[in-house]
Amino acid sequence: MNQPKLVFFHNPHSRAAMTRALLEELGAEFELCPVDFRRDEQLSADFRAINPMGKVPAIRAGDVVVTETVAIYIWLADLFPAAALAPALDDPERGAYLRWLVFYAACMEPAVADKAMKRAPGPRMQSPYGDFESVVATISAAIDKGPWLLGARFTAADVLWGNALGWLTGFGMVEKTPVIAAYIERVMARPAQQRAQQADAALAKEMGLGG
Ligand SMILES: N[C@@H](CCC(=O)N[C@@H](CS)C(=O)NCC(=O)O)C(=O)O
């Protein structure tokens, strides 16, 4: 593929691990740029020039910079069509694919953040995600049909949700119901996921981070 080299700004103990999981599924080559939170590297002027929010993940390809996990997912999965992880623009499944990707950032993330900080979501009508239980019930129903969010077709949305539900249940933010556990297991059984986890474990060791 004729495209500038990808540079991935990463910390293995962060949400950026979800991006690494996708890069591995796509078979993408990239230069890894570790960002050490203990040294506040994410807050440095150099990194803020990449992401003014001072947060990973971020990806650069030449002059193009993409931040925000879901935006990175959409962009990368389209950039590597040979991996067939994104329905094409004119594919009828494109809508459901985008819906489930964005549902993570637009509903699950704020729902979990409010729950973690013990903030009430406020009145249902004024909350962008309604209520936490509805968000979990909605994604649970979507993965219950299985094996994947789009049925028979595995996409980048499954990479995202398999990894997201993995860390959310790992931190006790979402209950590991049998449906959720089976879905995480299906996603994590993929060789690319195992490679991503091993690579991040090795990077964490290299960076001197705990296990
Ligand atoms: N909305 C961002 C959230 C990214 C995020 O929260 N990153 C955290 C790590 S999990 C971070 O970089 N924190 C460092 C800091 O805020 O100083 C996304 O979806 O990519």
Q: Are strands 30-34 and 6-10 parallel, antiparallel or unpaired?
A: parallel
Closest CA to 53 of 66, 36, 62: 66
Q: Between 148 and 124, name the one with better pLDDT.
A: 148
The mean pLDDT of 87-102, rounded to a whole number, is 98
- Determine the atom of ligand 1 nearest the C-alpha atom of 68: 20
CATH of 6-84, one of 3.40.30.10, 3.90.1300.10, 3.40.50.150, 3.40.50.720: 3.40.30.10
Mean pLDDT over each residue of the chain, to the nearest integer = 96
Question: In the prediction, which pLDDT does 73 show?
Answer: 98
- Determine the atom of ligand 1 nearest the C-alpha atom of 57: 20
- Band (pLDDT 50/70/90 cuts) for residue 211 is low
What confidence tens digit (pLDDT) does each residue in 18-47 have? Answer: 999 999 999 999 999 999 999 999 999 999
Residue 58 burial by CB count (10 A; 0-12/13-18/19+): exposed, middle or buried? Answer: buried
Domain boundaries, the chain: 6-84, 94-192
Q: Check whether 61 has a pLDDT greater than 80.
A: yes
CB 104 within 8 A of CB 173: no
Question: In the prediction, which pLDDT does 121 show?
Answer: 82
Measure Cα distances from 199 to 30, 81, 104, 144 in Å.
13, 24, 24, 30
CB 32 within 8 A of CB 8: yes
Same fold, 6-84 and 94-192: no
Question: In the prediction, which pLDDT does 1 show?
Answer: 52
Measure Cα distances from 5 to 30, 44, 117, 161 in Å.
6, 23, 39, 27
What confidence tens digit (pLDDT) does each residue in 127-171 have? Answer: 999 999 999 999 999 999 889 999 999 999 999 999 999 999 999
Q: What is the 3-state secondary structure (H, E, C) of 166-208?
A: HHHHHCCCCCCCHHHHHHHHHHHCCHHHHHHHHHHHHHHHHCC
Residues written for the chain:
211
CA of 58 to the centre of ligand 1 (A): 10
- The residue contributing the CA closest to ligand 1 atom 8 is 55
* Domain 94-192 fold: Glutathione S-transferase Yfyf (Class Pi); Chain A, domain 2 (1.20.1050)
